Amino acid sequence: MPDSFHLDAVPIRLERCGKTFAGSARALEPLDLTIRGGETIVFLGPSGCGKTTTLRIIAGLESPDPGGRVLFGEEDVTALPIERRNVGMVFQSYALFPNMTVAENVAYGLKVRKLPRPERTRRVEEMLDLMHLGEFAGRRIDQLSGGQRQRVALARALVVKPRVLLLDEPLTALDAKLRDSLRLEIDRLLRGLGITAVYVTHDQGEAMALGDRIVVMAKGRVAQVGTPREIYYQPADGFVADFIGTMNRLGGSARGGTLSIGTASLPWSGPEGAVELLIRPEDLALAGEADGHLGGTVAAAVFLGDRTRLVVEPADGPALTVDAAGRSELGRGDRVWLRVDPARVLAVP
């Protein structure tokens, strides 16, 4: 990637940024968050969790409730409207100007900034080439596919060298295959440009793949902030555990360094007493009757290619989701035994 594209990595700080819309409940509880310069942070959560509101507060499309502050680097931008914040925005619906060509769309921000025409043309061409859109420069927007449109939107947002790139569910409108390829492209772009980026999505796969850190949100609150691995392996609570990936919940009791699950006993160093155990499907291993901890019957088997996902019903307790090898021949009605690795079990009292 050419050096001319490298952008300043501006850190962003949100201080007590809450949002209450007139005549409705509080959409966002006061939030403190520091986004490091050059970091890609993903706001993840179900719809109505406050993630888009947070993005719009950073953008300057919403102002935080009194007392809240938004800082870009050392500059307090709380009172600045979006047009004076120098941010790039990418929307789910692309939001390209239908009355302009691809090149005119990309040039728009430069035109508004009154850049001389030769400079403008040069930068638009560079950006179109970077996004592999060179051949589409003269096309109308309605002559482009969804993926091409979103690449134009990215080019339009980036060509003005914004201080932060804000992406609001940019892949949601695309079909699965395009989503994957554009996600890779966005990843490459964000890493290459070194720009601070805020990405909003409800898709945990996108969040895991793109985020340096993920902010999981629920009902206007931050449930957890952490790297994808932290969020996945050390979820802060049951909501995060359930929202990210699949999580089994199992009752057990721990006493004197021993954890009892059903009839099995395991060495244990976690909290004592009656505990709820959270176990990922890939951390439950199939085993023989001799070394297994839990017995059950396969209630469903779904072949996913790289693995076979089994739903196992133990004699008592809730059904468990288990990942077996793709070539596993197990099917409905088979008796299986499962092994639990205590090191990979998360216990919630």
Partner 1 sequence: MSACLQEAPLPHRPAARPPAGPGWVGEPLRLAALLAPAAAVFAAFFLLPLVRLILIGAGGAEGWSAYLTTLVDPGHLDSLISTLALSAGVTLVTLAVSTIAGLFLVRHHFPGHAVLVALLTFPLAFPGVVIGFMVIMLAGRQGLIGTITQALTGGKLVFAYSMAGLFLGYVYFSIPRVILTVMAAAEKLDPRLEEAARSLGAAPWRVVADVILPALKPALISAGALCFATSMGAFGTAFTLATRINVLPMTIYTEFTLQANIAAAAALSVLLGLITWAALAVARSVAGTSVAAAG
In 102-251, alpha helices (H): 102-112, 117-130, 146-158, 176-193, 204-210, 228-233, 238-243
Binding span for partner 1 by CB under 8 A among 104-112, 191-199, 206-214, 269-277: 104-112
Beta bridge partners of 260: 253, 265
> For 65, phi and psi rounded to 5 degrees?
-60, 155
> For 11, phi and psi rounded to 5 degrees?
-75, 155
Q: Say whether residue 6 binds partner 1 (CB under 8 A).
A: no
Q: Say whether residue 306 binds partner 1 (CB under 8 A).
A: no
Q: Which of 216, 157, 214 is nearest to 189 (CA)?
A: 157
Question: By C-beta, is 195 or 214 nearer to partner 1?
Answer: 195
Q: Say whether residue 213 binds partner 1 (CB under 8 A).
A: no
Amino acid at 198: V
Binding span for partner 1 by CB under 8 A among 66-74, 109-117, 288-296, 318-326: 109-117
Question: By C-beta, is 200 or 208 nearer to partner 1?
Answer: 200
Contacting partner 1 (CB under 8 A), which of 71, 95, 264, 346? 95
CB of 5 to partner 1, least distance (A): 18
Q: Which of 198, 196, 193, 192 is nearest to 217 (CA)?
A: 198
- Rounded-to-integer distance, Cα 19 and Cα 57, Å: 9
Q: Say whether residue 28 binds partner 1 (CB under 8 A).
A: no
**120's tokens:** 């403008």
Q: How far is CA 90 from the centre of its chain?
A: 15
Question: By C-beta, is 190 or 218 nearer to partner 1?
Answer: 190
Q: Say whether residue 112 binds partner 1 (CB under 8 A).
A: yes
Neighbours of 33 (CB within 10 A): 18
Question: By C-beta, is 95 or 225 nearer to partner 1?
Answer: 95
Q: Say whether residue 108 binds partner 1 (CB under 8 A).
A: yes
Question: By C-beta, is 173 or 311 nearer to partner 1?
Answer: 173
Q: Say whether residue 141 binds partner 1 (CB under 8 A).
A: yes
Q: Say whether residue 145 binds partner 1 (CB under 8 A).
A: no
- Rounded-to-integer distance, Cα 278 and Cα 177, Å: 32
Site mask for partner 1 (CB under 8 A), range 47-86, x = bound:
------------x-x-------------------xxxx-x
Element at 115 (helix H, strand E): none
- List of residues contacting partner 1 (CB under 8 A): 59, 61, 81-84, 86-89, 91, 93, 95-99, 108-109, 112-113, 140-142, 153, 156-157, 160, 166
